[in-house]
Structure 1
Amino acid sequence: MILALLIAGKLLVRQGGDRPNREEKITGKQYFWRDKKEKNGYRLQQNLLDDHARILDKNNIRKATGSMSAMEEKFDRLVSDSFLKPGDVIGVSRRLYDHYGIYIGEGKVIHYADKTKDFGKDISIYETDLKGFIEGSKDYFVLHFPKEGGPPRKLRSSTNFTENPRERTGIFDFIFKAKYQLFSPEETIKRAKSRLGERAYNITRNNCEHFALWCKTGVSFSRQVDMALSI
């Protein structure tokens, strides 16, 4: 029985940082969980059998579950005044694709898009407000960059969602397997602003995801292009 739980736990960790979660009340004795942090009515708990974790609110409602690294960051965001932090790589999951940008603070985002929609005839890097960036999507996500290195994973702003689209691994994981440079929030924003007005969009070589990852890590890469080319 314990062996089966360990195997299940390892599979859980491999599925990424912020796993799909249905908010539900946790009841009964929790023998394999221990509290790691508690603040503002939230508790971060770690499973004793493996590395996965969960976040509970004051009513014992599960608000998130996933790897410990991802849950530590999501916990810190949930208990703070704002889920978003300046310098974040922010994204929204549209029906068929993800759209990316850099959050620069005060409700503003720099991204690669047309002035009225993600795609169009006049695509450039420009600054917009958060509402305009998210438009058409129920929530947004930020990229979590594990302290130990490895590929970034999505942390959704929602605590109740059935899927985390386009989290499939591939060459993206290989590219980010080694430790990479992670620019500070200030430097990330500076890099984003340095490209304002650029009109060199290319869907396979220089799209919104290439731009956002370059601002944060110096690596210009798109998981979505990798996924499309591997089909």
Structure 2
Amino acid sequence: MTGQLFQRERSTPSVGAVHVPGWLDTGRQQEIVEACRRWAVGPVPMRSAVLPGGHRMSVQTVCLGWHWQPYKYTRTADDAGGGRVAEVPEWMVELGRDAIRAAYFTQGEAGYAPEIIQPGEYTPDTALINFYAHGAHMGMHQDKDERSSAPVVSFSIGDTCIFRFGNTQTRNKPYTDLELATGDLFVFGGPSRFAYHGVPRTLAGTADPASGLDSGRINITLRMTGLE
């Protein structure tokens, strides 16, 4: 999808959750895609994690800072060769802080909530980079493996997805379905930090080649783990 008939507006599906469409310009998207391609081959390669019940996730993941596997963080990739993951680069930390400013500090706009966190206090120490090939999806879940309640910052590049953002009590309704397109920012913190969320499907053929990704979807989530 390379154009929109109408400009998409920022929205707040719940308190502390903010969707900012088109936040990343194409130049920044291309830079991120190239970085993701490097990280995908090492020092710890991209892989599909296996859930405790033996089910292999359809999404492929590579991690920075801390290695995530269901449902814990480790410094070494014990389920993917045992190597130590690459560090979160400083430019990505700064991008996360800029995202916090865009989500919570644009006075008069939907989502204005400076009481949730100050940008300078946001220092993500892990990044989960998920790649959604055609047919990949993510079930409803909570991001609660961290010991910090700082917001999660999410960037989307490539194919548009249906993003389902729910409540903090149950995987079921009420929830809101949003389209996250390439360049979109989604931040959830404060009362929405532990809301259930998932990706029922991606929309094949909607990627903008100018993003650097012709097909599939890259999603990067920045988090503060609270781990030492």
Class of the TM-score when normalised by the shorter of the 2 chains: under 0.3
- Which has the larger helix fraction? 1
Greater RCO (CA < 8 Å, at least 6 residues apart): 2
Question: TM-score, normalised on structure 2?
Answer: 0.27
